[in-house]
Amino acid sequence: MEFSDNQVNMLKKVSAENYISEITEHCEIMFPLLIPLQRKDDFRSCIQQSIVLAKKAGYTQRGPVRLYIDMMIILGSDFGKEPLFQSLKIKDQKVLPQIERSVKLYTLLNDYIAKVYGESGCFFKKSFEMFKDFSAKDFPVKISSSNAGVHELLRGIYPQRYDFAGYNAINNLIAVLDGACEKYKIKRLNHRLYLALIMFLFGCSFEQDIFRGHLITEPLMKYFNNDDISGHNIIVSSYASFQVNHG
């Protein structure tokens, strides 16, 4: 029996749709607060885009692709270029065979979850409470305007993520902060501090993130325009979606 080109293409499409469904079901278990933030069809579109990015990064097998997508959801969809994680040298691993790179990614992900999330997510949950109650207005001008103040803020909100990234990585974040402030026309010091926190928690390229960029960029602009607390609350809900059920 021979298949026509149309039949082969149809089989490929069905296989791709089934794989997207498989990853979506996995995400419903591992990231229970992520999918409810958007329509399921929109999330499937995010998965489709992330599969393309995984392929560009050299991951084409089912298991490694799913692992890469987990990394994208937890560390940001452009985590290989993320200033906070440059010391991990993820880009340098591209010369290795796919399976070997996948093993390294798996080890890295487990290490990150253990050190940054903690047992039963205790460290993350603490950072969530800190972020939920955060107000940049409460910080003195001296802290808001200095690089040392940014370090102090970020370490206070999420010390485990700060320590995992390292002092130099936070300096890398600060180095791109002023450019981000220009992009969003931010003049006020407390808004600069808030943007630094968003970049720290969501990644420096948060607005381009496949899974959360479209969820937080508009409320962030709303917050910057009039200090609307509802914008902050929406962002907090998106931050909650970083919660991981990791067995």
At 13-65, the pLDDT tens digits run 667 889 999 999 999 999 999 999 999 999 999 999 999 999 999 899 999 99
More confident position, 3 or 196: 196
pLDDT single digits (tens) 144-159:
568 898 999 999 999 9
- Burial class from Cβ neighbours inside 10 Å (0-12, 13-18, 19+) for residue 197 reads buried
Query: What is d(CA 11, CA 3) in angstroms, rounded to the nearest whole number?
Result: 10
Confidence band (pLDDT; 50, 70, 90) for 91?
low
Taking the model in full, what pTM does it have? 0.90
Residue in 218, 211, 3, 239 with CA at minimum distance from that of residue 134: 239
| Phi-psi sector, 139: left (phi>0), alpha (psi -120 to 50), beta | beta
pLDDT exceeds 80 at position 1: no
Percent helix, percent strand, percent coil in the chain, to nearest 5: 80, 0, 20
| Torsion over CA: 131, 214, 18, 66 (sign) | negative
Amino acid at 234: I
Main-chain dihedrals φ then ψ at residue 69, nearest 5 degrees: -65, -40
